[in-house]
Amino acid sequence: MSRIMSRKGQLLILLSFSIGCLYLQSNLQQIPQCICGGCHKNDPWFSTRFNTSYHPLMTSNTSVVSAETFQWWKRMQNTRSGWKDYKRVVDKIFQTIPDKEMHRDAGPERCRVCSVVGNSGNLINSHYGPMIDDGDFVFRINRGPTKGFEQDVGSRTTHRVIYPESAVDMGNSTHMVFFAFKLADLKWLVSLFTTHTIKQQNKVVKITTKANMSLVMVVSPGFMKYVHHQWLNKHGRYPSTGFMTVIMAFHICDKVRVYGFGADKDGNWNHYFERIRPAYKTGIHGGTFEYVTLKELQKRNKLELYE
Q: Say which amino acid occupies 6.
A: S
Ranges of H-type helices in the chain: 2-30, 44-47, 67-74, 83-93, 129-133, 150-153, 183-193, 221-226, 241-252, 287-299
Residue 153 phi/psi, 5-degree rounding, is -120, -5
Catalytic residue from among 251, 271, 285, 306: 285
Q: Say which amino acid occupies 279.
A: A
In degrees, rounded to 5, the angle at the alpha carbon of residue 83 between the alpha carbons of residues 79 and 84 is 105
Angstrom distance (rounded) from CA 81 to CA 72: 13
Q: Which of 282, 215, 270, 186 is nearest to 243 (CA)?
A: 282
Beta partners for residue 306, in sequence order: 259
Catalytic residue from among 86, 128, 226, 238: 238
Q: Does the annotation mark 259 as catalytic?
A: no
For residue 143, the SS3 value is coil
Q: Does the annotation mark 238 as catalytic?
A: yes
Ranges of H-type helices in 96-240: 129-133, 150-153, 183-193, 221-226
Residue 65: CA atoms inside 13 Å, Cβ hemisphere, count?
29
Q: Which of 183, 287, 180, 159 is nearest to 225 (CA)?
A: 180
Angstrom distance (rounded) from CA 188 to CA 93: 10
First to last CA, the chain: 77
Q: Which of 122, 160, 154, 115 is nearest to 142 (CA)?
A: 160
Angstrom distance (rounded) from CA 101 to CA 98: 9
Catalytic residues: 238, 285
